[in-house]
A and B are shown apart, each in its own frame.
Chain A
Amino acid sequence: MSSVSRGNRGTTQPKICEVPSSSGATMPPESLLPAVDFELIFESASARLLVLCPDSPRFTIAGASNAFLNATHTERGTVVGRGLFEVFPDRLVDRPAGERDLRSSLEHVWSSKRADTMAPQRYDIPLPPAQGGGGCERFHRSSNTPVLASNGDLRYILHRVEDVTEAVLLERQGEAQRERIEALTRQSEVAEADIAKGNAALEEANRELEAFSYSVSHDLRAPLRAIDGFSQALVADYASTLDEQAQHYLDRVRAGAQRMSELIDDLLNLSRIHRSPVRRTRVNASELCARILTELAGRDPGRDVVAQIAPDLFSYADAHLLTVALEHLLGNAWKFTSKRAGAEIHFGQSRLNDELHWYVKDNGAGFDMAYASRLFSPFQRMHKASEFAGSGIGLATVQRIVLRHGGRIWVEAAMNEGARFFFTLGNDHA
């Protein structure tokens, strides 16, 4: 067994390398060159190298580069001359399946005299107590290269170790990220499937609503027409035999049919709000209010109402739905100020907690806030029909419209002190 060590450096025969002269320059004679200290060069190499003797299974360490010793926190004196696995017992933490371990790689090189590069492996380096002891997780890629004598005999095996921890960790992070992305993709696929299911259910519900509305629109009106028509036929054809009381009862029957017909119309209009898509455009809400109030005044020329409309306020909302909503709100304001002098209606925008909202205010009859929770439900009324006419569908319709825009509506009121309606329309800043 030959061993290279500092102790016998002097006896090692320096050997001059023969550099092939591709440039054609003539080499100086051997004797003119200083002796080259290959051992020193080897020990100073930046690579982490071990020279191993081919004495399988011991693989005696014949030399080590300083880089190797530094990386493994060892010293040359305690390493050289000892068997490789004596100094570095198998501390492999995880060996890729089907990969050679170091011993089999060395034996492969030993028997085949061919170089072998191993896959990156985890090999934790123990830290000296001065550095806190313990170990640190490192990954290494090792290659074992045969060093052959001129007669082809295996003289040494050059063991080279590269620290590939950074690369492995990066790859691991990449994998973790890939897994995260895959998990997210799976989650979003599940969510998409849920949404598709929800949409299908919504479409089904809309179809049912459609069929129901059609039935209400068409089938419920026919019996009402019969009630009204035949009551009238009775009055017309048998007037002589019906006394006043009988005619009064028939009038009540007819009024009932009329009322129900109006309710059906209101219900249908409410369901249309539900069914019509919200198409946002830029709407001049101030102009819209002015137009609606002009129409109200035109139908009711005896009224004297002061209307204060903040000018040029725009909303990015569905023009038709916004019109319907404002018709109801302004119509209510108009109606509930009808029994007082100095009626006022205000329309504009104000800001509360950084949220811009619309308002419609009046100084009319108002109502008791104790009943405000029922205000936006269909057919709920705050006043006797003899005081103020109405079906109780208007504010339910307004609320639907506001909700369809992703907004909300609320109210402040007091008996005989008017009502103030506030609403938002989602993100409608135009």
Chain B
Amino acid sequence: MPDEQIILLVEDNDDDAELTVRAFREARINNPIVRLEDGVAALDYLFGSPHETSATSTPNALPAVVLLDLNLPRATGLDVLKAVRADARTKHLPIVILTSSTEDADRLAAYDHHANSYVQKPVDYQAFVAAARQLGLYWTLLNVTTPRVR
């Protein structure tokens, strides 16, 4: 069952996306990972209300956790975070900000809009793998979500 829990990765940088997936696999986190390239794609995925012409019109099942980059094309990570928190169905969805930025303003904004966690992507790949392992274990196994969140 835990393997069915999807990890949603919203990341515009192909290198980072590939390394993140690789880090999860190296850390033996084998949950399906859905990677989306920008904020609008993430909104479409979560709300099924296509922001542009798209076949998808029904929302997907909510993932176990969203790993959300901040600096995204079109809708930013912060826009996605705000939309998720504003909707009754998605407001308790665990969202982890996964970004290169350690700027005070970004950290403040993320927590102001109720991100569950803020993790800086380490440049050191070994540290990155370690972080992915902890994130994966914590959010797919250890963490207990709110009732009826999914």
Within 8 A of A (CB), among B9-38: 13, 15-16, 19, 22-23, 26
Whether B71 pairs with A225 at a CB distance below 8 angstroms is: no
Residues of A within 8 A of B121 (CB): 221, 225
The count of chain B contact residues (Cβ–Cβ below 8 Å) is 21
Q: How far is the CA of A219 from the CA of B71 in the complex (A)?
A: 9
Q: How far is the CA of A222 from the CA of B100 in the complex (A)?
A: 7
- Which one, B55-63, B122-130, B142-150, is touching chain A? B122-130
CB distance from B77 to the nearest CB of A (A): 11
Residues of B within 8 A of A258 (CB): 123-124
Residue A313 lies at the interface, judged by CB distance under 8 Å to chain B: no
Whether A225 pairs with B126 at a CB distance below 8 angstroms is: no
Q: How far is the CA of A229 from the CA of B16 in the complex (A)?
A: 9
Residue B140 lies at the interface, judged by CB distance under 8 Å to chain A: no
Whether B71 pairs with A218 at a CB distance below 8 angstroms is: yes
Known contacts A233-B22, A258-B123, A261-B123; is-contact A225 B128 (Cβ 8 Å)? yes
Known contacts A221-B123, A232-B125, A258-B123; is-contact A226 B102 (Cβ 8 Å)? no
Whether B19 pairs with A229 at a CB distance below 8 angstroms is: yes
Known contacts A221-B121, A232-B125, A261-B123; is-contact A226 B101 (Cβ 8 Å)? no
Q: How far is the CA of A58 from the CA of B7 in the complex (A)?
A: 117
Known contacts A224-B123, A225-B128, A229-B125; is-contact A268 B102 (Cβ 8 Å)? yes
The count of chain A contact residues (Cβ–Cβ below 8 Å) is 23
Residues of A within 8 A of B23 (CB): 229
Within 8 A of B (CB), among A129-152: none
8 Å CB contact of B128 from A218, A229, A236: A229
Known contacts A232-B125, A232-B126; is-contact A226 B19 (Cβ 8 Å)? yes
Q: How far is the CA of A315 from the CA of B15 in the complex (A)?
A: 49
Residues of A within 8 A of B124 (CB): 228, 258, 261
Known contacts A218-B71, A233-B22; is-contact A225 B123 (Cβ 8 Å)? yes
Residue A223 lies at the interface, judged by CB distance under 8 Å to chain B: yes
Residues of B within 8 A of A233 (CB): 19, 22, 125
Whether A218 pairs with B16 at a CB distance below 8 angstroms is: no
Residues of B within 8 A of A232 (CB): 125-126
Residues of A within 8 A of B71 (CB): 218-219
Q: How far is the CA of A232 from the CA of B128 in the complex (A)?
A: 11
Chain B 86-128 per-residue mask, 1 if CB under 8 angstroms from chain A, else 0 = 0000000000000111110000000000000000011111101
Q: How far is the CA of A257 from the CA of B19 in the complex (A)?
A: 15
Known contacts A257-B123, A258-B123, A258-B124; is-contact A226 B16 (Cβ 8 Å)? yes
Residue A377 lies at the interface, judged by CB distance under 8 Å to chain B: no
Whether A222 pairs with B125 at a CB distance below 8 angstroms is: no
Residue A217 lies at the interface, judged by CB distance under 8 Å to chain B: yes
Q: How far is the CA of A223 from the CA of B14 in the complex (A)?
A: 11
Whether B100 pairs with A221 at a CB distance below 8 angstroms is: yes
Residues of A within 8 A of B103 (CB): 213-214, 217-218
Most buried by B among A218, A223, A258, A268: A218
Most buried by A among B99, B103, B121, B123: B123
Q: How far is the CA of A229 from the CA of B19 in the complex (A)?
A: 7
Residues of A within 8 A of B26 (CB): 236
CB distance from A221 to the nearest CB of B (A): 4
Chain B 69-92 per-residue mask, 1 if CB under 8 angstroms from chain A, else 0 = 011000000000000000000000
Whether A229 pairs with B15 at a CB distance below 8 angstroms is: yes
CB distance from B72 to the nearest CB of A (A): 11
Q: How far is the CA of A258 from the CA of B126 in the complex (A)?
A: 11
CB distance from A171 to the nearest CB of B (A): 61
Whether B102 pairs with A225 at a CB distance below 8 angstroms is: no
Within 8 A of B (CB), among A199-236: 213-214, 217-219, 221-226, 228-233, 236
Q: How far is the CA of A228 from the CA of B103 in the complex (A)?
A: 22
- Chain A residue at minimal CB-CB distance from B126: A232
Within 8 A of B (CB), among A155-208: none
Residues of B within 8 A of A218 (CB): 70-71, 99-101, 103
8 Å CB contact of B101 from A217, A228, A236: A217
Residues of B within 8 A of A261 (CB): 123-124
CB distance from B150 to the nearest CB of A (A): 32
Residues of B within 8 A of A219 (CB): 71, 100
CB distance from A294 to the nearest CB of B (A): 27
Residues of B within 8 A of A223 (CB): 15
8 Å CB contact of A225 from B16, B70, B101: B16
Q: How far is the CA of A389 from the CA of B121 in the complex (A)?
A: 25
- Chain B residue at minimal CB-CB distance from A260: B123
Known contacts A232-B126, A261-B123; is-contact A222 B15 (Cβ 8 Å)? yes
Residues of A bordering B, CB below 8 Å = 213-214, 217-219, 221-226, 228-233, 236, 254, 257-258, 261, 268
Interchain Cβ contacts under 8 Å between A and B, 17 examples: A214-B103, A217-B101, A218-B99, A218-B100, A221-B100, A222-B100, A224-B123, A225-B15, A225-B16, A226-B15, A228-B125, A229-B19, A229-B125, A232-B125, A232-B126, A233-B125, A258-B124
Sorted nearest first, the 6 A-B pairs with minimum C-beta distance are A226-B15, A261-B123, A221-B100, A229-B19, A229-B125, A232-B125
12 further A-B pairs in the complex, CB-CB below 8 A; given A218-B99, A218-B100, A228-B123: A213-B103, A218-B70, A218-B71, A221-B100, A221-B121, A225-B15, A225-B19, A225-B128, A228-B125, A229-B15, A229-B23, A229-B128
